[in-house]
Amino acid sequence: MSKKQYKVEIIKEGALGTLFFGASKLPLDKIEDTLNELGQDGWGLEFMMIESHRFLLFGTREAAIVTLSREIS
């Protein structure tokens, strides 16, 4: 019977864009680079969720919560 190992990564949008514009986009390049880098080590995407929370007094800030897994022996 094979076992799985899990890893959780949190990738947040930039603080400066949120501070100056009230919102900015999630860094898709950073998400892609992180997934590609971890994929080379055998990690596969299991689940991804976008979370939105308040940032300072004005804006909201988004974060991608990424759950990865890989088989271990």
pLDDT one-digit tens code per residue, 25-72: 677 888 899 899 999 999 999 999 988 776 666 667 788 899 999 999
- At 65 the pLDDT is 92
Provide the residue range defining the domain that includes 34: 3-72
Give the span between the Cα atoms of 47 and 32, in whole angstroms: 15
pLDDT digits (tens, 9 = 90+) for 16-35: 554 455 455 677 888 899 89
| Domain total of the chain | 1
- At 63 the pLDDT is 84
The radius of gyration computed from the CA coordinates of the chain, to the nearest angstrom, equals 15
68 with 1: CB under 8 angstroms?
no
Tokens of 31: 């998400």
- At 44 the pLDDT is 94
Q: Regarding predicted confidence, which is higher, 37 or 2?
A: 37
